[in-house]
A and B are shown apart, each in its own frame.
Chain A
Amino acid sequence: MKPETILGSFRTALGGKLLDERTIERQVGNVDPQSVYDLWIVVDRADFRAAVEHLCAEFDPHLSVISGDDLGDGIALNYHFSAGWGERYGEVTFTIRTVVPKSDLHIPTITDLLPGAQTSEREKREFFGIEVDGIPDKRNLFLPEDMTIHPWRHDLQEETNGSVKRLVKWEERNE
Chain B
Amino acid sequence: MNNRSIHLEIGGGEQTCYTVPIGPTHPALKEPIRFTFDLSGEQIVGVDIKPGFAHRGIEYMGMRRNVIQTLYLSERICGICSISHPLAFTQAVENAAGIEVPPRAQYIRTIIGELERIHSHLLWAGVGAHELGFDTLLHLTWNVREKCMDLLEQLTGNRVDYAIPIFGGVRRDIPAEKAPLAYQALEYYKDLLQQMIDAYLHDKSVRMRTRNVGVMTYDQAVELCAVGPTTRASGVKKDVRVDMPYLAYADMDLHAITPEDFGTEPIGDVYDNIIVRLLEVAQSIEIIEFCLENMPEGELTSIPKVPALLAAVKKAKAKGSGDTRRRGAKSSTTSDSSKDRTKWPSGRFALPRTTTSCRGFRSSSATRSPTSRSSPRRSIRACAAWIASISSMKPGPSRSASRRNSSDSLGRRQGGCADDRNDRERSLAGDRDPVRIRAPRYGLQGV
A residues contacting B by CB (< 8 A) are 19-20, 22, 24, 26, 28-34, 36, 38, 40, 42, 60, 62-64, 69-74, 76, 82, 84-93, 97, 99, 114-117, 127, 140-144, 151-152, 154-155, 157, 160, 164
Point out the residues of chain B lying under 8 angstroms from A140, CB to CB.
52
| B52–A151 CB distance below 8 A | no
Interface residues, chain B, with chain A CB atoms under 8 Å away: 50-52, 55, 57, 59-60, 63, 95, 103, 106, 222-227, 236-238, 240, 242-246, 248, 250-251, 254, 256, 296, 319, 324-325, 328-334, 337-338, 340-342, 344
Distance of A71 Cα from B339 Cα, bound (Å): 11
Beyond A85-B243, A86-B237, A116-B226, 20 extra complex contacts between A and B, CB < 8 Å: A22-B344, A28-B245, A29-B251, A30-B106, A32-B251, A36-B244, A62-B225, A62-B238, A71-B331, A73-B332, A84-B243, A85-B237, A90-B243, A93-B244, A97-B342, A116-B224, A142-B55, A154-B325, A154-B328, A154-B332
B60 touches A151 (CB 8 A): yes
What residue in chain A is nearest B254 (Cβ atoms)? A88
Interface contact A30-B319, CB-CB below 8 Å: no
Q: What is the bound-complex CA distance between A58 and B82, given in angstroms?
A: 37
The 4 residue pairs across chains A and B that have the minimum distance between CB atoms: A116-B225, A154-B328, A72-B331, A29-B250
Does B325 lie within 8 Å of A157, measured CB to CB?
Answer: yes
Query: Known: A115-B223, A115-B224. Is A72-B243 also a contact (CB below 8 A)?
Result: no
B227: chain A residues at CB < 8 Å are 62, 64
**Would B57 and A151 count as touching, CB distance under 8 A?**
yes
- Pair B341/A30 contact, Cβ less than 8 Å: no
Q: Which residues of B contact A32 (CB under 8 A)?
A: 251
The answer to whether B244 touches A91, judged by C-beta atoms less than 8 angstroms apart, is yes
**Contact partners of B329 in chain A: CB under 8 A:** 72, 154
Q: Is the interface of A mostly helix, strand, loop or mixed?
A: mixed
Q: How far is the CA of A145 from the CA of B226 in the complex (A)?
A: 26
* Closest-CB distance, A175 to chain B (whole angstroms): 20
- Once A42-B341, A74-B338, A151-B60 are accepted as A-B contacts, the answer to whether A142 and B224 lie under 8 Å apart by CB is no
Contact partner, B55, options A64, A87, A99, A143, Cβ 8 Å: A143
Question: Could you write out 20 A-B pairs with CB less than 8 Å apart?
Answer: A22-B344, A28-B250, A30-B250, A64-B227, A69-B319, A71-B331, A71-B337, A72-B330, A72-B331, A72-B333, A73-B337, A85-B237, A86-B238, A88-B243, A93-B244, A141-B51, A143-B55, A144-B52, A151-B57, A154-B329
In the complex formed, the residue of B with least CB distance to A126 is: B52
Specify which chain B residues have a CB less than 8 angstroms from the CB of A19 in the assembled complex. 342
Instruction: Return chain A residues, CB-CB under 8 Å to B256.
Output: 86
Knowing A34-B250, A154-B325, say if A63 contacts B225 (CB, 8 Å): yes
Are B59 and A151 in contact (CB-based, < 8 A)? yes
Chain A residues in 8 Å Cβ range of B254: 88
Least CB separation from B96: chain A residue: A24
B251 touches A31 (CB 8 A): yes
CB A91 to nearest CB in B, in angstroms, measures 4
Of chain A, the residue at the smallest CB distance from B248 is: A30
B328 — which chain A residues lie within 8 A by C-beta? 70, 72, 154-155, 157
A residues near B226, Cβ cutoff 8 Å = 116
A132 smallest CB distance to B (angstroms) = 17
**B155 nearest CB across to chain A (Å):** 21
Which residues on the B side are within 8 Å of A29 (C-beta)? Answer: 245, 250-251
Residues of B contacting A73 in the complex (Cβ-Cβ under 8 angstroms): 331-332, 337-338
Query: For the complex, what is the distance from the CA of A155 to the CA of B324, rounded to whole Å?
Result: 12
Query: Given the complex, which residues of B lie within 8 Å of A89, measured CB to CB?
Result: 243-245
The answer to whether A28 touches B337 (Cβ under 8 A) is: no
Determine how close the nearest CB of chain A comes to the CB of B123; give it in whole angstroms. Answer: 23
CB closest residue in chain B, given A62:
B225
B52 to chain A, nearest CB (A): 4
Say how far B347's CB is from chain A's closest CB, in angstroms.
13
Known contacts A72-B332, A116-B223; is A30 also within 8 Å of B240 by CB?
no
The answer, among B59, B225, B240, B250, for a CB contact under 8 Å with A117, is: B225
Residue numbers in B under 8 Å from A143 (CB-CB) = 52, 55
The reply to whether A91 and B344 form a contact with Cβ atoms under 8 Å apart is no
Chain A residues whose CB sits within 8 angstroms of the CB of B240 once the complex forms: 91
Cα A62 to Cα B223 with chains together (Å): 8
Whether B242 pairs with A28 at a CB distance below 8 angstroms is no
| Chain A neighbourhood of B341, CB < 8 A | 42, 71, 74, 76, 99
Closest to A42 in B: B342
Q: Is the CB of B57 within 8 A of A72?
A: no
